[in-house]
Amino acid sequence: MMVSLLVTAILASLGVWQLQRADEKRTIEAALRERSASEPLWVGRDRLSLPDSEYRQGIAEGRFDGAHTVFLDNQIQESQAGYHVLVPLRLASESGSAVLVNLGWVPMGLDRQQLPQVDIPHSQVTVRGTLRRPPRAPFFLGDEGTQETSGWPKLVQYVNTEQLQSKLGYPLQPLVLQLAPDEPYGFVRQWPELPTSVQQHIAYAVQWFAMALVAVVVFVILYRRSFDGNEQRNRS
């Protein structure tokens, strides 16, 4: 019986912890939504900072460096394999830097060895979108260096702006500008919503509380059996 009480207390505390985590995620989600609704940042005037600039709306003006197009591999759109097309935008500011612009998704061709032909604007443009962290590196069993093709355009499994800028010969902003769906340039842009796991934490809390309730029922059953057993012994 003492074990049942201990298990009940542990399960209930885990449920409370999940509810606390849900409250924390609500706070983060509210901050992200407030950040995304705030006044857009002009990219290039100052170097973007992490994490304060992430999820902010950004505006950038410059020319695309179409000769250095990057294809991000393993991107799925409606069950079809393809790539995200990222192109450096050489900023019109005096900083001499650039920002990678994610122009959206394109499908993979019949021949995986042949990257798609994409149309990149050559004139000076002003683009708008959401500032996001570059896609993170997945877990590799082998050498990371084998996951990137040589030459241009470049096929990559993830985006490392520091490594990429050494190949480009000019500095890159640490964030990627995810092109807005209503911009006239780009390809398929069905971006996911802001990340949140509030409902997941609530679901976990419900599970823990349900198991705690089961533990209480088990405790009651064991207690009644023990009580009934003592009563029978006393009568005999």
Q: Are residues 67 and 173 in the same domain?
A: yes
Instruction: State the DSSP code for 187.
Output: S
In a domain, 106, yes or no: yes
CA distance 2 to 210: 19
141: tokens are 């069993």
Q: Are residues 155 and 100 in the same domain?
A: yes
In a domain, 175, yes or no: yes
69: tokens are 């197009």
Is pLDDT at 66 greater than 80 in this prediction?
A: yes
pLDDT (tens digit per residue) in 166-182? 999 999 999 999 999 99
In a domain, 85, yes or no: yes
The more confident residue out of 201 and 195 is 201
In a domain, 35, yes or no: no
Q: Are residues 205 and 123 in the same domain?
A: no
Q: Are residues 127 and 218 in the same domain?
A: no
56 phi, psi to nearest 5 deg = -75, 150
Is pLDDT at 144 greater than 60 in this prediction?
A: no
Tell me which range, 2-16, 30-44, 112-126, 197-211, is most confidently predicted by mean pLDDT.
Answer: 112-126
Q: Are residues 97 and 134 in the same domain?
A: yes
CA distance 211 to 207: 6
In a domain, 73, yes or no: yes
Q: Residue 53: which pLDDT band, with cuts at 50, 70 and 90?
A: confident
Is pLDDT at 18 greater than 70 in this prediction?
A: yes
pLDDT value of position 147? 57
pLDDT value of position 145? 45
Q: Are residues 175 and 214 in the same domain?
A: no
Task: Using DSSP bridges, classify how beta strands 41-42 and 57-64 pair: parallel, antiparallel or unpaired.
Answer: parallel
pLDDT value of position 209? 82
In a domain, 188, yes or no: no
Q: Are residues 153 and 89 in the same domain?
A: yes
Residues 6+ apart with CB under 8 A from 88: 64, 65, 68, 98, 99, 100, 101, 168, 170, 172
Q: Are residues 84 and 142 in the same domain?
A: yes
Q: Residue 26: which pLDDT band, with cuts at 50, 70 and 90?
A: low
Is pLDDT at 141 greater than 50 in this prediction?
A: no
Q: Are residues 156 and 76 in the same domain?
A: yes
pLDDT (tens digit per residue) in 79-135? 999 999 999 999 987 778 999 999 999 999 888 788 999 999 999 999 999 999 887
71: tokens are 């294809």
Q: Measured between alpha carbons, how far is residue 172 from residues 16, 24, 87, 176 in Å?
A: 44, 33, 11, 9
In a domain, 185, yes or no: no
Q: Is 120 exposed, middle or buried (0-12, 13-18, 19+ CB in 10 A)?
A: middle
* Residues pairing with 99 in the sheet: 89
Q: Are residues 172 and 102 in the same domain?
A: yes
Q: Are residues 18 and 105 in the same domain?
A: no
Instruction: Give me the mean pLDDT over the 63-83 stretch.
Output: 94
Q: Are residues 202 and 166 in the same domain?
A: no
In a domain, 124, yes or no: yes
CA distance 84 to 171: 21
Q: Which domain holds residue 223?
A: 2-28+197-235
Number of domains the chain is built from: 2
Residues 6+ apart with CB under 8 A from 193: none
